[in-house]
Structure 1
Amino acid sequence: MDQGPLAERIVAEFEGMSAQLQTAARYMLDNPSDVALLSMREQARRAGVQPATMTRLAQYLGFEGYDVVRDSYAAAVRIGYPGFAGKAGAQLRSQKLKGDRAQASEMLDSLAAQFARLARPQMLDRVVAAARRLSAARRIYCLGLRSSHPVVWHIHYVLSLVGEKSVLLDGVAGTGADAIGRATDDDVLLVASVRPYTRQTVEVAEYAAGRGVPVVAITDSEVAPLAQIAAEVILVPTQTPSFLHTMAPAFAVAEILAAVVAGHGGEQALAEIRRTDEHHAALNVHLKPRLGKK
């Protein structure tokens, strides 16, 4: 979003504002996407003012509160973003013209190119840096909602096989984010979100970062909300001929991170895996291979 929906009004009223309101207004003018995506407290922090100043600015501009301002900016972002329905229409037209086989082929070609980009040295450096930070943490809190949930769930699952270091922040009974309240700067929040960014994910990450908990983010852009607060960022492509963004590159990163972090566990991790195997065998978790007839 190049310009926010209130830009003209802010400029017109700017001279009559107090110094604090001008600081907040200048932030809104320069960062319209942040107004749509970030919490009011985080915006105030970045602007260098108190949260109450943001509320007073909204009232100065004729609104009841800052939530109304955020909603107007969020609506502008949605207009600029075609959304799932808009992208689905484009896919349907293309698929009808080219056929199902071509649709499948285009998606696979796209994924192949994206995986090749993930193997570039600069991307591998980011993955290694993230894995080292995760390995050094006392606990790893994992958060991913909507399409990003399988990404962090897989990392949590693999790490649960080699110990008790991982904590999944899920949404059961609305208590998903409660556990992050026990995190300290000895821990790490591993979080994944791609556009359109899930508000709760961003707000929990902002909360954790504000408490001094390092954030490791899997996201899709250097200017994504999570990238702005993360200590380590892994960027994954999401473009696809499908109407829904692809999560395959992010899932690949999840598999790599999980394997590398587990590998750092050494003999203790091996002992935990043996215990897990014994536990699964005792519960008859997996089907046993059938013996061939003699």
Structure 2
Amino acid sequence: MSRHLLFTSPDASELSPELFRAARWLEQHPGEAAMHSMRECARRAGLAPATFTRLAHALGYEGFEGLKQRFQQDLSSEGAYTARARALQDTARKDADWLEALNEAQHANVGSACSLNTRAQFDAVASSMLKAGSVYFLGMRASFGLAFHLHYSYGLVAPNGVLVQDVGGTQADQLARMGPRDLLVVMSLAPYTRQTVLAAEQAVAQGVTIVAVTDSALSPLARMASHQLLFHAQSTSYFQSMVGALAVAEALTAAVAVRGGPRVLAHLQGVQSRLDAHGAYWNRIDKKSAGTGRRQVIAQRKSVTDKPKLNPTTKTQ
């Protein structure tokens, strides 16, 4: 279980500036939080010890010791990617149910799409997307696949989606075209990709509406966003899980379809007709064509096997 689950509650985004500083320090220094006293943590963070007590209460703990124990548990179960992979191997050798443990974590991640976000949140984001001039989708590293999926799914029901890429070094050009009428759906989870955060900051400076799909209400993306959609990413494997983020993406595109009305249906019908006209998807082949194809393959194989073999001692002209 990730320490970031402490801060995935939407209530975490409502922390006072002082409590936010304390929470951010804990999130960035989990090892120190697990090892040191409250006073020492406060000294290192440059905050009053009472601030950490109030933060613990805000997060549902009786005191700082309960919060500290949580970090100690996480420290014992998490580590660098290599260490986590080694732990997974060790667990698999001792316990045949490692797959079941992973499955349970994945189910919890999928459920987080609804437990951490309300229908009203999805509806609000969907309405903003449908009203925007252009909707940009940005995700890097592990989040790029999510951005691509969300862009593709959204493109089936709306024409104003743009996937932000860096092909040919053109990402800066795409970011520069964003304006106050546009919306940026930006995705990242800890450890947050630096280039993603910088791109989001640029978009904010240009007046773009930001939708953050992220794993913590305290993430740098969530703090600058007009809308945030949260997910859990815990995993018993060596890498963070992306299924929670994918569940959020699918819920969001479903909300767009629901909110879009006839306009969405008309666009989707046009896309479907175009795909059908281009033969985009594999379809049933009639028996005659299938038989011809099989005969061609058999003939090709036979022509190869029937070629005369050269005697290695025979000279050729």
Query: One-letter code of the match for 1:114?
Result: N
Match of 1:236 among 231, 239, 256: 231
Change (3 A) 1:228 1:270: same
**1:278–1:116 Cα change, 3 Å:** closer
Q: How far is 1:174 from its partner?
A: 2.0
Answer yes or no: is 1:287 the counterpart of 2:299. no
- Among residues 183, 200, 205, which one is paired with 2:200 in the alignment? 205
Deviations 1:5-32 (Å, cap 9, x if unpaired)?
A: xxxxxxxxxxxxxxxxxxxxxxx99976
8 Å Cα contact 2:130-2:158 kept in structure 1: no
| Structure 1 position 164, deviation (Å) | 2.1
Within 1, Cα distance between the matches of 2:270 and 2:238? 43
Structure-2 residue corresponding to 1:273: 268
State the shift of 1:291 in Å: 6.2
Which residue pairs with 2:216 in the alignment? 221
Instruction: Specify the code of the residue in structure 2 equivalent to 1:119.
Output: C
Per-residue deviation, residues 218-255 of structure 1 (Å, max 9, x unmatched):
11111111011111111110111011100001001111
Tell me the alpha carbon deviations over residues 65-87 of structure 1, each in whole angstroms, 9 at most, x when there is no partner.
xxxxxxxxxxxxxxxx8331222
The CA RMSD measured in Å over matched residues stands at 2.7
Q: Do residues 174 (structure 1) and 169 (structure 2) align?
A: yes
Q: Deviation at 1:33?
A: 8.8
Cα distance in 2, alignment partners of residues 267 and 125 from structure 1? 21
Q: Over alpha carbons, which structure has the higher Rg?
A: 2
User: One-letter code of the match for 2:87?
Assistant: A
Counterpart CA distance in 2 for 1:273 and 1:98 is: 48
Distance 1:167 1:215 in 2: 14
Equivalent pair of 1:159/1:166 in contact (CA under 8 Å): yes
What residue number does 2:94 align with?
97
Tell me by how many angstroms 1:117 deviates: 3.5
Taking the aligned partners of 1:134 and 1:163, their CA distance within structure 2 comes to 9
Q: CA deviation at 1:135?
A: 2.4
Mapped to 2, the partners of 1:291 and 1:82 lie a distance apart of 55
For 2:158 and 2:125, locate their aligned partners in 1 and report how far apart those are by CA, in whole Å.
Answer: 19
Query: Given the alignment, which residue of 190, 197, 201 partners 2:185?
Result: 190
Q: Secondary structure at the match of 1:119?
A: helix
Shift of 1:292: 8.4
Aligned pair partner of 1:257 in 252, 260, 277: 252
Q: Which structure exhibits the higher relative contact order, with contacts defined as CA atoms closer than 8 Å and separated by 6 or more residues?
A: 2
- Tell me the equivalent position of 1:83: 80
1:110: Cα distance to partner? 1.2
Structure 1 residue runs of 5 or longer lacking an equivalent are 1-27, 37-80
Contact 2:129 2:183 in 1 (8 A): yes
1:6 corresponds in structure 2 to: none
State the TM-score, normalized to the length of structure 2: 0.63
Deviates more, 1:244-253 or 1:81-90: 81-90
SS at match of 2:171: coil
Q: Percent identity?
A: 31
Corresponding residue for residue 47 of structure 2? none
| 1:243 counterpart SS class | coil
How many aligned residue pairs are there? 220
**4+ long deviations beyond 4 Å:** 28-36, 290-293
- CA distances 1:114-166 after superposition (whole Å, capped 9, x unpaired): 33343237544433332232222221110011111122211211222233210
Output the CA distance in 1 between the equivalents of 2:287 and 2:255: 37
Letter of the 1:214 counterpart: T
Q: Distance in 2 between matches of 1:178 and 1:242?
A: 37
Give the Å deviation of 1:170.
1.4
Structure 1 partner of 2:158: 163
**1:124 and 1:97 mapped to 2: Cα distance?**
42
Alignment partners' CA distance in 2, 1:249 and 1:127: 15
**Match of residue 139 from structure 1:** 134
The CA distance in 2 between the partners of 1:104 and 1:204, in whole Å, is 37
SS in 2 for 1:240: coil
